Structures are given as structure tokens and as C-alpha cells.
């Protein structure tokens, strides 16, 4: 009985997903915000590295707080924006059809789309940021040292960007090599700018 109920809910959500055509929007949200989350946390970690911060707790705290902030901002901002856009479309459809669509299939589909898009918008940068900061959690448990964690975070950031590039290539049916290199190039440029800015502000490189 419980399985049938879950199955019905999933089928209903799938129908809402198709009717609202939210797939294209959430794909863009996922890539853009995961990209932002990874690069933002990379900047924080490079800044800490150049400032000579070897205690993992400030970095973990900054990473968790940043992830919560990005997640909350993404969910609330995307929900309000998506809700406004879809309410406008629903009202236009009501005028064209000369009928009240409140609580109808289209209304429920648009409400589902607003919530779904908001979740994707908020969760993707938070997860990407936490992935980048995760090596410092291992430092906290004595599995890695701080220097290794810094370099591991950079590697995880570049790997995340590479995977996002491959995902975009798959969506667009374009060259995976091309998209992968483009995303990595942005990552390397960002890292370089963060290193140089921190250095000019008085930071130093640690080997």
C-alpha cells in the first residue's frame, strides 16, 4: 500500500515536471550555481592558504557557513523569482482561456516547478562548496595534513569543473574535450587571480 502511494506521488511529480517544462531551467541552475559554489569556496581556501591559516576549523566553519548562506539564498531567491514568473504565465493562460485555473493541473505543475527549481538552485552551490572544503574535515580527524588538504581542495574544484563541462557537452551534444578544457581554464584563471590578489595583499606561498 505504501509503495503504491509513493509510486503515485512520483508519477504525479513526473507529470508536473513534464507539463511545467522545468527541466531546462533546472539544468541551467544546477550548472551555474555548482560552478559558483565551487569557485567561491576555492577563493576562500586560497585566501586562507596565503594568509597562513593552518587550523582547519576556521576553514571548515567558513565553508559550512558559506554553504548554508548560498543554499538559503539560492532556495529563497529562486523560489520567489520562479513563482513570480510562473504566476504571470498562469494569469496570461487564464485570460486566454477565460477560466480560473487555481488548483488545476497547470497551477499544481507551476507550483511544483517553483519548488523544484528553488531546491536545485540552492542545493547545487552548497554541495559544490562542501565538496571543495571536505579535505579540511579529514584534517580535523587527522587523516590529512593542512597543506595536503589545500592542494586536494584545488584538485576537487578542478575535477568538479571538468565534470560540469562534460555534462554541458553531453547536453549540447558538443565536444567533451572542448567544454572540459574551457571549464578548467576558467578554474585555473580564477585560482591564479586569487593567488595573485592574496599575494599583493601581503599573503605568502607555502610549500
CA 114 to chain centre: 17
pLDDT of residue 206: 65
Task: Say if 206 falls within a structural domain.
Answer: no
Number of domains in the chain: 1
pLDDT of residue 2: 65
Alpha carbon 178 to its chain's center: 22
Residue 202 included in any domain: no
**Cα–Cα distance between 175 and 166 in angstroms, integer?**
8
Q: Which regions of the chain are under pLDDT 70? A: 1-3, 93-94, 96-104, 205-207
Question: Can you give the pTM of this predicted structure?
Answer: 0.82
Residue 166 in any domain: the answer is yes
Cα distance between the two ends of the chain: 61
> Which pLDDT belongs to residue 99?
65
**Three-state secondary structure call for residue 21:** coil
Its domain, for residue 161, covers 2-195
In a domain, 122, yes or no: yes
- Give the Å distances, CA to CA, from 183 to 78, 138, 154, 155, 168: 24, 27, 14, 13, 10
The answer as to whether 205 is a domain residue is no
Grid cell of 131 as nine digits? 565538496
What is the pLDDT, as a whole number, of residue 153? 94
Q: Per the domain annotation, does 207 fall within a domain?
A: no
Tell me if 20 is assigned to some domain. yes
Does residue 201 sit within a domain?
Answer: no
Amino acid at each position: 500500500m505504501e509503495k503504491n502511494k509513493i509510486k503515485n506521488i512520483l508519477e504525479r511529480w513526473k507529470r508536473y515536471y513534464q507539463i511545467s517544462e522545468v527541466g531546462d531551467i533546472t539544468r541551467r541552475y544546477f550548472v551555474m550555481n555548482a560552478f559558483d559554489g565551487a569557485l567561491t569556496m576555492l577563493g576562500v581556501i586560497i585566501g586562507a592558504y596565503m594568509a597562513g591559516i593552518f587550523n582547519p576549523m576556521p576553514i571548515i566553519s567558513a565553508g559550512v557557513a558559506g554553504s548554508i548562506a548560498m543554499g538559503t539564498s539560492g532556495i529563497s531567491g529562486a523560489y520567489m523569482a520562479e513563482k513570480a514568473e510562473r504566476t504571470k504565465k498562469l494569469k496570461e493562460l487564464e485570460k486566454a482561456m477565460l477560466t480560473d485555473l487555481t488548483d488545476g493541473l497547470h497551477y499544481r505543475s507551476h507550483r511544483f516547478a517553483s519548488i523544484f527549481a528553488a531546491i536545485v538552485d540552492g542545493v547545487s552551490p552548497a554541495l559544490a562548496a562542501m565538496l571543495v572544503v571536505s579535505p579540511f574535515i579529514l584534517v580535523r580527524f587527522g587523516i590529512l595534513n593542512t597543506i595536503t588538504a589545500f592542494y586536494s581542495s584545488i584538485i576537487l574544484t578542478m575535477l568538479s569543473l571538468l565534470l560540469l563541462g562534460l555534462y554541458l557537452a553531453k547536453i549540447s551534444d558538443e565536444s567533451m574535450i572542448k567544454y572540459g578544457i574551457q571549464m578548467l581554464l576558467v578554474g585555473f584563471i580564477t585560482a591564479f587571480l586569487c593567488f595573485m590578489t592574496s599575494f599583493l595583499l601581503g599573503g605568502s606561498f607555502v610549500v
